[in-house]
């Protein structure tokens, strides 16, 4: 959620900190700040709102130095204000801290420190960290910086990713993590600390990811990592695998539009090198299980949140249809807290674009605690989920800057469709059917390119309905998860109330919502159920509701009974969910633009949810 950046080297830190914060704006935040060490003292600058406001103020901030830390805050404790923004300085200004996560026992710590005459100037949990670090320094000033921070963290309950600087230890930044991502960007004569690789990619391609329970001492020319219990750590360096241009708009007005348009390339990347030589099945080098081991799997469990959950639901329909294996899909946030019975031969997948979603990580750990093999599907090489799972599949979607997922969602469904094919071929699907499935998948980039040409017709539909306040999205079978995703996108991007239901469920309650102020968007791209869907459409029209239909044939009935009809190509059922979601992404985008919303950074949302 929040963003951390730190710099230590030979250059002036201010500009690098501001640039790093700008690169992490897509994560979601409400205020921003920096602190730099200048002539033996720490000076901080904070602003509510966008990083641009901080950048403007920085031009009149006359403190500079080669070491500093910065932060974008998504409020948890205390309102959105400059005094609650990070960095937080200790009483006496000896230490400055930036922090992602939540300190659950901060009230007890604050009461203890108040008795020791420490003053507090914010409502945050983070300020207690700064003062507790100072307390341990006062008790034992002879200890190293890392040792002081280590002793502090042993008293902390909760989650954290922190970076700490000090005027006492002027050539060092100490960082540590527990359930909140942190990495070190390794440079020449400089090192950059961040919670997101986007903040360091302009300066270095080499990064080192910290694991939970690790603490690092970072200087300009070296760094060392140990565990909180002082055990040595083998440092593993990773090379960033996405392009710098992923962070640039390249002429598009918004990242969301750019990333919708990138989907043909993203889908192609997800499939590249992942078909067998005979062209009849899929293969994944990251799945460590043999075909014989996969054949013994009796059930699949997918755990995910948000858009990734919807992708897994679409995958459930495809896997059960083609591989005939039962599939459960759980909200990761629910699975971690309920004692769900699992069959012995269950294979667990956790799916997260960022690889850092805290609820999905917790579900991963719970499944592993129960002794199950857990595979991951994620977009970020070196992410916590990528490192914590037994094996997995990378999406190769590139950096997704828009907060609301588009191209990463399409990538996830593509991979899950290929997984359905792989499992089906292991079980009952014959070679001819496999060949047809593979050919359909390979046709996806060209088909999605054709659908992108519907941008203008979708915009014209959006212009008619953008002032409406109630939308229902309806789809059958594998189109139901796509309806859920369409409704979610409209909520995220345009702040419009939208719900989704299986089409036939409308008559079991939601039909009470139908009036002349209701817009119903039907995803009617499954020919075997068109007669049933047409009945539901007429039920809406009989009650005065407006109907937008996404279809894949030119039946005259659509024009008669629907207010708007959008025709997309008829495709193999295995790729239908991928094809059908793109018009819904465009629809949400244009509704959001017409309503004056910030479609790249929707209010209250964060790209990577790393707190409960």
Residue 343, pLDDT score: 84
Does the structure show a pLDDT above 70 at 200? yes
Active-site residue 607, yes or no?
yes
**Pairing label, strands 497-502, 470-475:** parallel
Residue 29, pLDDT score: 81
Residue 608, pLDDT score: 66
DSSP 529: G
Does the structure show a pLDDT above 70 at 1? no
- In DSSP terms, 302 is beta-bridged to 329, 349
Does the structure show a pLDDT above 70 at 449? yes
Does the structure show a pLDDT above 90 at 28? no
| Average pLDDT of the residues in 122-136 | 96
Question: Is residue 119 exposed (0-12), middle (13-18) or buried (19+ Cβ within 10 Å)?
Answer: exposed
Question: Is residue 559 exposed (0-12), middle (13-18) or buried (19+ Cβ within 10 Å)?
Answer: exposed
- Mean pLDDT for the chain overall: 93
Does the structure show a pLDDT above 90 at 247? no
Which residue among the candidates 22, 46, 110, 607 is catalytic per the annotation? 607
CA gap 55, 17 in Å, rounded: 10
User: Do residues 386 and 376 lie in contact, with contact meaning Cβ atoms separated by under 8 Å?
Assistant: yes
Active-site residue 2, yes or no?
yes
Closest CA to 393 of 297, 314, 285: 285
Which residue among the candidates 2, 303, 312, 597 is catalytic per the annotation? 2
Q: Considering only CA atoms, give the Rg of the chain.
A: 26
Does the structure show a pLDDT above 90 at 451? yes
CA gap 603, 584 in Å, rounded: 20
Higher pLDDT, 339 or 185: 185
What length is written for the chain?
612
Residue 560, pLDDT score: 82
Residue 245, pLDDT score: 62
Give 470's pLDDT tier (boundaries 50, 70, 90): very high
Does the structure show a pLDDT above 90 at 169? yes
pTM for the whole thing?
0.85
Give 610's pLDDT tier (boundaries 50, 70, 90): low
Does the structure show a pLDDT above 70 at 611? no
Domains recognised in the chain with CATH numbers: 3-240 (3.60.20.10), 254-451 (3.40.50.10490), 453-602 (3.40.50.10490)
Does the structure show a pLDDT above 90 at 263? yes
| Token representation of residue 523 | 């995803």
Give 612's pLDDT tier (boundaries 50, 70, 90): low
Give the pLDDT confidence of 264-316 residue by residue, as tens digits: 999 999 999 999 999 999 999 999 899 999 999 999 999 999 999 999 999 99
Give 209's pLDDT tier (boundaries 50, 70, 90): very high
Give 569's pLDDT tier (boundaries 50, 70, 90): very high
């Amino acid at each position: 959620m929040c963003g951390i950046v730190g710099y230590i080297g030979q250059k002036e830190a201010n500009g690098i900190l501001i640039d790093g914060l700008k690169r992490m704006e897509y994560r979601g935040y409400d205020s921003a700040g920096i602190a730099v060490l200048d002539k033996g003292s720490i000076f901080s600058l904070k602003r509510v709102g966008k990083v641009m406001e901080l950048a403007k103020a920085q031009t009149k901030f006359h403190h500079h130095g080669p070491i500093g830390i910065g932060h974008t805050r998504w409020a948890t404790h205390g309102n959105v204000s400059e005094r609650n923004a990070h960095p937080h300085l200790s009483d006496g200004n000896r230490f400055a801290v930036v922090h992602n996560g939540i300190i659950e026992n901060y009230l007890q710590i604050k009461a203890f420190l108040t008795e020791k005459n420490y003053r507090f100037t914010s409502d945050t949990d983070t300020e207690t960290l700064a003062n507790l670090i100072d307390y341990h320094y006062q008790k034992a000033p002879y200890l190293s910086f890392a040792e002081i921070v280590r002793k502090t963290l042993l008293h902390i309950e909760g989650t954290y990713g922190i970076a700490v600087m000090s005027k006492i230890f002027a050539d060092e930044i100490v960082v540590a993590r527990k359930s909140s991502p942190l990495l070190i960007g390794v440079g020449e004569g400089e090192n950059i600390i961040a919670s997101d690789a986007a903040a360091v990619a302009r300066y270095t391609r080499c990064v080192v990811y910290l694991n939970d329970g690790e603490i690092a001492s970072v200087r300009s020319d070296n760094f060392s990592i140990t565990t909180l219990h002082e055990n040595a750590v083998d440092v593993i360096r990773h090379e960033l695998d996405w392009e710098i241009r992923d962070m640039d708009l390249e002429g598009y007005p918004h990242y969301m539009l750019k990333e919708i348009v990138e989907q043909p390339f993203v889908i192609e990347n997800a499939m590249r090198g992942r078909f067998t030589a005979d062209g009849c099945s899929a293969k994944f080098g990251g799945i460590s299980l043999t075909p014989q081991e996969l054949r013994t799997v009796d059930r699949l469990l997918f755990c995910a949140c948000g858009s990734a959950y919807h992708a897994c639901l679409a995958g459930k329909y495809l896997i059960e249809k083609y591989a005939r294996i039962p599939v459960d899909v759980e909200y990761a946030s629910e699975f971690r807290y309920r004692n769900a019975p699992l069959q012995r031969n269950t294979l667990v997948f956790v799916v997260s674009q960022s690889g850092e979603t805290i609820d999905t990580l917790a579900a991963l750990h719970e499944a592993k605690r129960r002794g199950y093999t857990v595979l991951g599907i994620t977009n970020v090489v070196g992410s916590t989920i990528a490192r914590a799972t037994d094996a997995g599949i990378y999406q190769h979607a590139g950096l997704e800057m828009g907060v609301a997922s588009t191209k990463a969602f399409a990538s996830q469904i593509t991979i899950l469709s290929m997984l359905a094919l792989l499992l089906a071929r292991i079980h009952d699907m014959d070679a001819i059917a496999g060949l047809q499935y593979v050919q359909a998948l390979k046709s996806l980039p060209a088909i999605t390119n054709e659908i992108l040409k519907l941008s203008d017709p979708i915009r014209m539909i959006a212009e008619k309905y953008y002032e409406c306040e109630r939308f229902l999205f309806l789809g059958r079978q594998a189109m139901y998860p796509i309806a859920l995703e369409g409704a979610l996108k409209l909520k995220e991007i345009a702040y419009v109330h939208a719900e989704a239901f299986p089409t036939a469920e409308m008559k079991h309650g939601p039909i009470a919502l139908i009036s002349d102020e209701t817009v119903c968007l039907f995803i009617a791209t499954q020919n075997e159920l068109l007669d049933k869907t047409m009945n539901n459409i007429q039920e809406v029209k009989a009650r005065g509701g407006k109907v937008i239909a996404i279809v894949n044939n030119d039946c005259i009935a659509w024009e008669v009974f629907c207010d708007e009809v959008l025709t997309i190509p008829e495709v193999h059922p295995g790729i239908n969910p991928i094809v059908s979601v793109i018009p819904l992404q465009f629809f949400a985008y244009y509704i959001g633009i017409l309503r004056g919303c910030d479609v790249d950074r929707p209010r209250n949302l964060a790209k990577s949810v790393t707190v409960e």
